[in-house]
Amino acid sequence: MSKNYLNLLDHIAIIMDGNGRWATKRGLPRNVGHKAGVKAIEKTIDACLKYKIKYLTFFAFSTENWKRDEKEINGIFSLLRDYLHDNPYNFNEKGVSVKHIGDLNPFPEDLKNQLLKTEKETSKNKNITVTFALNYGGRDEVVRAINKVLKSDKKGITFDEFKKNLDTKFLPDPDLVIRTSGENRLSNFMLLQMAYSELYFPKVLWPDFNEKELLKALKVFSKRERRFGGIKK
Ligand code: IPE
Ligand code: IPE
Ligand code: MG
């Protein structure tokens, strides 16, 4: 596999799916699956650092995930808050800048504050930007962006101007989108940003994702021919 395609890969976005099934298969509560999913996040960041990927985004909680039981939702929130607080991975040592996309308003104050604190404390890191999509939905993001535009006195707007109102304004569009667990759908993730992304749907459940799985994804990506509406030169 030639390494050159890595120069063309700035941003990998991942729909981490299959935590619940991973746990259920083992007769364990769903939240054990979410906990195991955190290890897969660490392995994936490590692998992306190794291959010098500059942006990595994880879909962690969707605007639709509020439909789940309170126990599961609170479990996910505690996991995230404690993880950011304890910082066992040590984002600063690894040069990871942590960011979020999504509307944080409905989250518990302590989780919100911890996330903003982590973002501030890691903001100068340059090796990789790791973004967590939290209470994120592509449709919700667009509506919030439209409402921002409506507050200005603009009569018309180009897409490039509109983009600056999206949560993702600090991110390039994803080059590669991976959704684990064999589901072939986007579930409201980065709908506008994915217009020309390469999509990859491996069967592996998220907690089992690792460097080997990432390499498989990179290999698939390296064989894709991106044309962006043009023709092969
Ligand atoms: C993805 O795993 C993580 C979140 C949505 C938080 P799931 O919890 O959706 O796992 P499955 O799809 O039920 O296996
Ligand atoms: C998408 O997974 C959301 C996240 C990974 C956070 P879901 O498990 O919520 O999606 P559906 O319900 O299968 O479409
Ligand atoms: Mg799921």
Ligand number, closest to the Cα atom of 24 = 1
Q: Please report the pLDDT score of residue 23 as a whole number.
A: 98
In this structure, the number of other CB atoms found within 10 A of the CB of residue 35 comes to: 18
- Spatial CB neighbours of 210, under 8 Å, sequence gap ≥ 6: 40, 43, 44, 47
Distance separating alpha carbons of residues 153 and 100, to the nearest angstrom: 28
Helices marked H in the chain — which ranges? 19-25, 30-50, 70-86, 91-94, 109-122, 138-151, 159-163, 211-223
In the chain, where are the structural domains located? 3-138+173-222
**Among 14, 17, 177, which is best to mutate for testing ligand 2, by the most ligand atoms less than 8 A from CB?**
17
> In ligand 1, which atom is closest to the CA atom of 205?
14
* Active site (catalytic) residues: 17, 65
Distance separating alpha carbons of residues 181 and 209, to the nearest angstrom: 10
Query: For ligand 1, atom 13, which residue shows the shortest CA distance?
Result: 20
3-class state of residue 223 by DSSP: helix
Question: Ligand 3 is a single-atom ion; what residues have CB below 5 A from it?
Answer: 17
pLDDT in tens, the chain (233 residues): 556 777 789 999 999 999 999 999 999 999 999 999 999 999 999 999 999 999 999 999 999 999 999 999 999 999 999 999 999 999 999 999 999 999 999 999 999 999 999 999 999 999 999 999 999 999 999 999 999 999 999 889 999 999 999 999 999 999 999 999 999 999 999 999 999 999 999 999 999 999 999 999 999 999 999 999 999 87
Contact 196, 173 (CB under 8 A): yes
Q: Please report the pLDDT score of residue 208 as a whole number.
A: 99
pTM of the shown model: 0.97
Ligand 2 contacts (CB < 6 A) are: 15-17, 59-62, 65, 183, 185, 187
Distance separating alpha carbons of residues 1 and 3, to the nearest angstrom: 6
Q: Please report the pLDDT score of residue 7 as a whole number.
A: 76
Assign residue 42 a region: left if phi > 0, alpha if psi is -120 to 50, beta otherwise? alpha
Query: For ligand 2, atom 9, which residue shows the shortest CA distance?
Result: 65
Ligand number, closest to the Cα atom of 40 = 1
Nearest CA-CA partner of 128 in 190, 60, 48, 58: 48
**CA dihedral sign of residues 45, 51, 52, 54:** negative
**Among 38, 65, 131, which is best to mutate for testing ligand 2, by the most ligand atoms less than 8 A from CB?**
65
Q: Please report the pLDDT score of residue 230 as a whole number.
A: 97
3-class state of residue 97 by DSSP: strand
Instruction: Return the DSSP state at 116.
Output: H
Assign residue 181 a region: left if phi > 0, alpha if psi is -120 to 50, beta otherwise? left
Give the burial class of 216: count Cβ atoms within 10 A of its Cβ; 0-12 exposed, 13-18 middle, 19 or more buried.
middle
> In ligand 1, which atom is closest to the CA atom of 61?
6
Q: Please report the pLDDT score of residue 233 as a whole number.
A: 72
3-class state of residue 224 by DSSP: coil
CATH superfamily of 3-138+173-222: Decaprenyl diphosphate synthase-like (3.40.1180.10)
Distance separating alpha carbons of residues 36 and 22, to the nearest angstrom: 9
* Joined tokens for residue 203: 């069967």
Q: Please report the pLDDT score of residue 4 as a whole number.
A: 74
Ligand number, closest to the Cα atom of 13 = 2
Is any ligand 1 atom within 6 A of the Cβ of residue 187? Answer: no
Q: Please report the pLDDT score of residue 6 as a whole number.
A: 78
Is any ligand 1 atom within 6 A of the Cβ of residue 180? Answer: no
